[in-house]
Amino acid sequence: MLKATALMGFKAISFALLFAASGQALAASATVVAHIDRMLMTADSTYGGCMALLSVNPADALPGCGRGWVSFSCSGDFTDRVRAYRLVDLAQLALASGKRAQVFFRDDMKHNGYCFADRIDVLR
């Protein structure tokens, strides 16, 4: 009985080591509070079709992100287009009103090296 238990423990440890060494990277996410300095819309899916330039560099929070900009994926690659354009609407509201925005983004979804922003909150 002792040998069977030891063998099962060895298998469990081996599985854990194999899983850890499998090379799968975990996605990282971050948030920044910034002003929206500029908006970008493209006629094609370049940069995901729409982006915002933040006053705080997203790459400082997540080094895998491109400098300055985040994408809202208006191309529909990472969210549906309706939601993407609603994110753009809030970014434009923050830009037009001069309000700060809290922008949440992740480094596992990118357009042309720029991270996907999956949430934006306009602050008072």
Flag whether 59 is in a domain. Answer: yes
Q: What pLDDT does 17 receive?
A: 44
Flag whether 77 is in a domain. Answer: yes
Flag whether 16 is in a domain. Answer: no
Flag whether 24 is in a domain. Answer: no
Tokens of 105: 């983004």
Please give the tally of structural domains in the chain: 1
Q: What is the SS3 string spanning 56-92?
A: CCHHHHCCCCCCCEEECCCCCCCCCHHHHHHHHHHHH
Domain span including residue 78 = 29-122
Is the pLDDT reported for residue 6 higher than 90? no
Flag whether 7 is in a domain. Answer: no
0.75 exceeded by pTM: yes
Q: Per-residue pLDDT averaged across 61-71, rounded?
A: 97
Q: What pLDDT does 19 receive?
A: 44
Q: Which residue has the higher pLDDT, 22 or 2?
A: 2
CATH of the domain at 118: 2.40.50
Flag whether 4 is in a domain. Answer: no
Is the pLDDT reported for residue 11 higher than 50? yes
**Residue 47 has what DSSP assignment?**
G
Flag whether 60 is in a domain. Answer: yes
Of 39, 33, 44, which is closest to residue 77 (Cα–Cα)?
44
For residues 104 and 117, is the Cβ–Cβ distance under 8 A?
Answer: yes
Flag whether 75 is in a domain. Answer: yes
